[in-house]
């Protein structure tokens, strides 16, 4: 089931990805990749490039078409993907996957709902300043 997050157009949308460590005890506790998708489109990837490094040292690889609007905070958990500014076309399903070697875990699914400023004022969102979750 997806978490629904409502964001006002032209504001910042933040989606989180929780990490869970593998339980095998094999020593490779750092993920090899963390991927963010919108639907089936890969929009952002963090990769260790074959090294066993902490998440904060992974290489960031945003999709070319999203590069100017995406940012990932990977210095502490949970990891956040920020979309700034959010457009109406950004509405949709997002999810992240965490890769430990050949083990892939689908982590958190979000449905990002984007509304215009007038709808936010009508619903009271602007007054409460609750445009991200």
Kindly indicate the confidence band of residue 52, based on its pLDDT and cuts at 50, 70 and 90. confident
Domain residue extents for the chain: 3-128
- Opening angle at CA 66, ends 76 and 37, nearest 5: 65
Tell me the CATH architecture of domain 3-128.
Answer: Sandwich (2.60)
Query: Over 80: is that where the pLDDT of 133 sits?
Result: no
Higher pLDDT, 22 or 94: 94
57-80 pLDDT, tens digit per residue, is 999 999 999 999 999 998 887 899
Other Cβ atoms less than 10 A from the Cβ of 77: the count is 12
Chain centroid to CA 55 = 14
9-47 pLDDT, tens digit per residue, is 999 999 999 876 665 555 557 889 999 999 999 999 999
Query: Over 70: is that where the pLDDT of 51 sits?
Result: yes
């Amino acid at each position: 089931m997806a978490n629904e997050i409502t964001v006002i157009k032209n504001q910042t949308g933040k989606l989180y990805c929780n990490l869970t460590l593998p339980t095998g005890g094999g020593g490779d506790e750092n993920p090899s990749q963390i991927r963010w998708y919108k639907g089936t489109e890969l929009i952002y990837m963090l990769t260790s490039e074959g090294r066993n490094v902490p998440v904060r040292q992974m290489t960031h690889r945003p999709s070319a078409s999203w590069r100017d609007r995406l940012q990932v905070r990977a210095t502490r958990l949970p990891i956040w993907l920020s979309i700034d500014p959010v457009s109406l076309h950004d509405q949709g399903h997002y999810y992240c996957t965490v890769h430990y070697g050949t083990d892939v875990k689908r982590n958190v699914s979000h449905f990002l709902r984007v509304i215009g400023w007038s709808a936010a004022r009508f619903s009271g969102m602007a007054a409460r300043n609750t445009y991200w979750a």
